[in-house]
Chain A
Amino acid sequence: MAKKVIDARGSFCPGPLMELIAGVKAADVGDELEVLSTDKGSATDIPEWVKKVGHEVVGTKEENGVWHVFIRKSK
């Protein structure tokens, strides 16, 4: 199971969630992905999408203005 970091800091377009969607597609089931975002909206819109599609939200934290959202590809 790989761990991958998606550095989407400063990404307005396509934005952190779009980066994650592309990253999930390229990942294997069981992989953990960490999204780095400077958009505080990521702390809510990423978990919303992850749950809707059926993957797992592992955790969220904020450090020095950067949100880290951890998810696991479940299917």
Chain B
Amino acid sequence: MKILIVGGGMGGTILANNLARRLHGELKSGKARIVMLSASERHMYQPGLLYVAVGRMTPDELYRDQASLLEPGIEFHVDPVTEFHFAKNHVTTQSGKTCDYDVLVIATGSRAMMTGIPGLAENAETFYTEETAVKMFKALRSFEGGRVVVTVGVPHKCPMAPLEITFMLHDYFKDRGMGDKVQIHYTYPIGRVHSLENVAKWAAPEFDRLGISYETLFNMKEVDGANKVLKSEEGSETKYDLLVAIPAHKGMEVVEKAGFQNGWVPTNRTNLHMDGEHGKNVLVLGDTTNLPISKAGSTAHFEAEVVAENLAAVVKMGVPVRDYDGKVFCFIQAGKERATYASFNYTTPPSPQPPTRAVHWFKTAYNKLYWASARGLL
């Protein structure tokens, strides 16, 4: 059985490694093959970009060579897919090759779209790429004071990012002795400060305690850069001196080109197969799905474990063995020295505890332990 994994991010990498260990004998005997096609020879620890944006990590700390993370036996190629041909069970790649498969796993991820809102790309800082995170930090360094507005589009990767960057900005300016010169204003699309009700319940009093103002039911519509005003779909406006955006995301262009609106692939919520007539041998992981769950590394991680176990079982027994239950686990960095976490699935809401230093240090350790996760060891 030839398993083709498209995408070398967290989901694709954990899947490939987990599967390679489960299918060690089958890979050796030639009964199974695992092929990975990726757009990059490097693997980025994306949650680290938050820290780069506030000067607490440097970009070089975020990367490893992708090949060094993969188990022996995985056939890895830097050759991004340019077209999916589901009816023919093959893809075509940038180098012009055709790659066929018995089972396809799409794990191509998502991209931040600063261009979706008029004026946003020209006037706002963001931190979803190395380039923009470094640019944002330079903007913070040269900021002399005023009103900092954090604004949020949907859907976006990392559901905790809006809160985390707000708390981190607060601590950054406080550390520089600028607390009295900077007013932080947070906006959020729905009627509370976070989508998770229990997270919103502790975050709002934290904002009050720290003097961070907030406006809910605020969906950005356009940015008037000349007058430094952010306008919302709901009809309100807010002035800014420094605008920080968590922009809406889309799936990757190659997925959009395959006919999936906004690049999200309709996916079965429990078996993670692509919906439709060609979904029988196509699975989808992580941000790429259209599932109503967090676009987060942990989602991709837990989905990858289910898919690995199922594909190995199919090779060995002819049937899958597990369902995905919607499990997500997110750390929440509540400033530079405290953190908490939220864990939930399709049926159980999270119940986050107050942030502590202990969880912060665990999160700090995880920033390094991630590489063990990517290798499928943790």
Residues of A at the B interface (CB closer than 8 Å) are: 6-19, 21-22, 25-26, 45, 48-49, 52-53
Contact = CB atoms under 8 A, between A and B. Distances in A.
Contact of B233 (A6, A16, A19, A53): A53
A18 B350 CA distance: 17
Interface string B199-222: 000000000000000000101000
Interface string B345-374: 111011000000000000000000000000
29 contacts: A6-B292, A10-B269, A10-B326, A10-B345, A11-B292, A12-B195, A12-B344, A13-B294, A13-B330, A13-B342, A14-B155, A14-B159, A14-B293, A16-B292, A17-B190, A18-B189, A19-B292, A21-B154, A21-B219, A22-B248, A26-B262, A48-B191, A48-B217, A49-B190, A52-B217, A52-B234, A52-B235, A53-B233, A53-B234
Contact of A8 (B189, B235, B292, B345): B292
Nearest to B198: A12
Q: Is the interface of A mostly helix, strand, loop or mixed?
A: helix
Contacts of A25: 154, 248
Contacts of B154: 14, 18, 21-22, 25
B350 A12 contact: yes
A52 B190 CA distance: 11
B98 interface: no
Interface residues of B, number: 30
Given A8-B292, A14-B195, A15-B292, 4 more contacts: A12-B349, A16-B292, A17-B190, A49-B190
Interface of B: 154-155, 159, 189-191, 195-196, 217, 219, 233-235, 248, 261-262, 269, 292-294, 326, 328, 330, 342, 344-347, 349-350
A18 B190 contact: yes
A10 B190 contact: no
A18 B192 CA distance: 12
Contact of A11 (B262, B293, B342): B293
Counting from the closest, the 4 A-B pairs by CB-CB distance are A10-B346, A11-B292, A15-B195, A8-B292
Given A22-B248, A45-B190, A49-B190, A13 B195 contact: yes
B253 to A, nearest CB: 16
Contacts of B234: 52-53
The residue in B191, B292, B342, B349 that gathers the most chain A C-beta atoms within 10 A of its C-beta is: B292
A13 B217 contact: no
B2 to A, nearest CB: 32
A64 to B, nearest CB: 15
A53 B349 CA distance: 28
B347 A10 contact: yes
Contacts of B235: 52
A13 B196 contact: yes
B191 A7 contact: no
A17 B216 CA distance: 13
